[in-house]
């Protein structure tokens, strides 16, 4: 399941340096991706397990067949997202 509710622009996504994300600028990062409000209002679902992802349970974004997947903080989802990231690099 890909981000069915949200259309993300892959080019905008790539412009943002993922390594620079820390807790301090997570809000700014999510805002830049247009994800902050959807996360706060419960509109985002984990692309792997389908669970609703809130800001607290957001772990990371990862490339998913040219789209952007969103992973929740479940360990298995996070590991799958990490693997997907490694596959792309």
> Would you tell me which residues interact with Zn ion (CB under 5 A)?
46, 48-49, 72, 74, 77
Helix (H) or strand (E) segment spanning residue 70: strand 67-72
C-beta of 33 vs 77, nearer to Zn ion = 77
R_g of the chain, CA atoms, integer Å? 12
Q: Is 23 exposed, middle or buried (0-12, 13-18, 19+ CB in 10 A)?
A: exposed
C-beta of 12 vs 50, nearer to Zn ion = 50
C-beta of 1 vs 15, nearer to Zn ion = 1
């Amino acid at each position: 399941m890909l981000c069915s509710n949200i259309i993300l622009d892959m080019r905008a996504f790539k412009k943002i340096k993922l390594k620079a994300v820390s807790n301090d600028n997570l809000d700014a990062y999510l805002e830049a991706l247009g994800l902050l409000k959807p996360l706060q209002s419960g509109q985002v679902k984990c692309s792997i397990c389908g669970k609703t992802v809130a800001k607290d349970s957001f772990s990371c974004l990862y490339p998913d067949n040219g789209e952007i997947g969103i992973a929740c903080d479940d360990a298995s989802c996070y590991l799958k997202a990490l693997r997907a990231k490694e596959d792309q690099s």
